[in-house]
Amino acid sequence: MQKDISDVEFLFPIQLDIDNFLNLTPFEPFSENAIEFLNDLSVELNKDVDSRKYGEIAAFAFFCRKANIFSFKKKYLNNQTIRLGRGIVFHIAPSNVAVNFAYSLICGLLSGNLNIVRVPSKEFEQVSVICSAIYRLSLNKKHKFISERLLLVRYDRQSSATAFFSSVCDVRIIWGGDSTIEQIRKSIIPPRSFDVTFADRYSLCVINADVFINETSPEKIALAFYNDTYLFDQNACSSPHLVIWLGSDINVEKSQEIFWTNLYDVVKVKYNIQPVTAVDKLTSFFNQAVKLEKASKVDMPDNSLWRVQLKHLPQNIDDYRCSGGYFSEYHAESLTELSKIINRKYQTLAYYGIEKSELILFVKEVALTGIDRIVPIGRTSDFSLTWDGFDLISTLSRICEIL
């Protein structure tokens, strides 16, 4: 494959000797070099004035802390097993989530790999902040081992760079919709290489109104839900689009009023709706109202928060989604009722007021084909080294067996 990367913008490093990069070796998962690099990156980001404007950068910096990485290291390392990174991991980040590329990079680093990361083509300031911090770290000689194994790039879809980077990778990680994955897979990878794909997913939230009605701080739950949804403009796969209510009729009705009122109070202070988003919501509702029986819009003060109440829960409810604060809601008799809609598209279930034992029983008895994560409201965007059902450290490393 010809090394045609002339149209690639190198965010880090500014200049690259591609032949030297391709000849570097992988290393052991959770190496001291990688942990020190990530911890210093956390410190560097926390010092950066520009990073303080973005909650997602603060969350990323918090994840990179040495204490947090050590907690993962204890889980994965086994003195009886020899693991090494697979080699070169080529990450293709989604175009609509600014900081996703950085979390993908963490997985590649902690599993012991060289990393080529294609950041979003859209010029998010968050990307620039993180790349600048990485550059500053690279000036410190103690980070040479890691920084020379990083390549952060940006280029258009029309570029042949994807074909080249695919031809030299050992693992290709693709974040994107089904059509994006299909298009990228046209670029051939080596025979022993493989793809890890994170396709577009759908997430939901379940609230037990019989418990919520007694909540003494409903504003805190509303803020947590805001962080799950509006913080990413509802574009993250983990952001709920469907809200399921459990409990008695009267408690559901009262809880809905409390919950949505408190959420709107947060939204009107923190969220600025774009005109195109308002139009998208209107179009989405017309489509939903025409195709679904008795779907009705609940009156809200303005376009920043839309509620669409459902009398029936259609199997294809995941087809009716919109960003920027657009929620379908349904009063279910029990968790079991959800089994008829949950398919392989479903990723995260956020919950409130439900016992963990009940959730475990639900998953085991129903044997769901979807739902890879079940987390409390407010934690849907918490990144983990297990994502979409993939144990990423194990997937991105290999075992060398010695008998």
Residue-wise pLDDT for 318-344, tens only, equals: 999 999 999 999 999 999 999 999 999
Domains and CATH numbers, the chain: 9-200+388-399 (3.40.605.10), 202-376 (3.40.309.10)
The reported pLDDT for the residue numbered 202 is: 94
Determine contact, residues 99/184, Cβ cutoff 8 Å.
no
Separation of alpha carbons 69 and 30, rounded Å: 8
How far is residue 167 CA from its own chain's centroid? 26
Q: In this predicted structure, what is the pLDDT of residue 39?
A: 98
Cα distance between residue 324 and residue 118, in whole Å: 26
| CB 130, CB 99: distance < 8 Å | yes
Provide DSSP, 257-275.
HHHHHHHHHHHHHH----H
Best CA proximity match to 167, nearest among 16, 3, 10: 3
pLDDT 10s digits, 188-243: 999 999 999 998 899 999 999 999 999 999 999 999 999 999 988 898 899 999 99
| DSSP code of residue 374 | E
In 3-state terms, what secondary structure has residue 66? Answer: helix
Q: pLDDT digits over 97-136, tens only?
A: 889 999 999 999 999 999 999 999 888 999 999 999 999 9
Mean pLDDT, the chain, rounded, equals 93
Share of the chain above pLDDT 90, in %: 80
How high is the pLDDT of residue 204? 97
Q: Has residue 2 got a pLDDT over 60?
A: no
Task: Give residue 1's pLDDT band: very low, low, confident or very high (50, 70, 90).
Answer: low
Confidence of residue 71 (pLDDT cuts 50, 70, 90): very high
User: What does the pLDDT read at residue 309?
Assistant: 96
Q: How confident is the model at residue 312 (pLDDT cuts 50, 70, 90)?
A: very high
pLDDT at residue 78 is higher than 90: no
Residue 82 has pLDDT above 90, yes or no: no
Residue 353 burial by Cβ neighbours in a 10 Å radius (0-12, 13-18, 19+)? buried
Q: What is the pLDDT confidence band of residue 64, given thresholds at 50, 70 and 90? A: very high
pTM above 0.95, yes or no: no
Residue 311 pLDDT > 70: yes
Predicted pLDDT of residue 208? 98
- Cβ atoms < 10 Å from Cβ of 278: 15
Greatest CA separation found in the chain?
A: 69
Q: Is 162 helix (H, G, I), strand (E, B) or coil?
A: helix
Residue 263 corresponds to which tokens in the numbers above?
């959420």
The answer to whether 224 and 202 are in contact (CB under 8 A) is no
Please state the rounded mean pLDDT for residues 305-325: 94
Place of tokens 């997430």: 203
Among 104, 108, 110, smallest CA distance to 127 is for 104
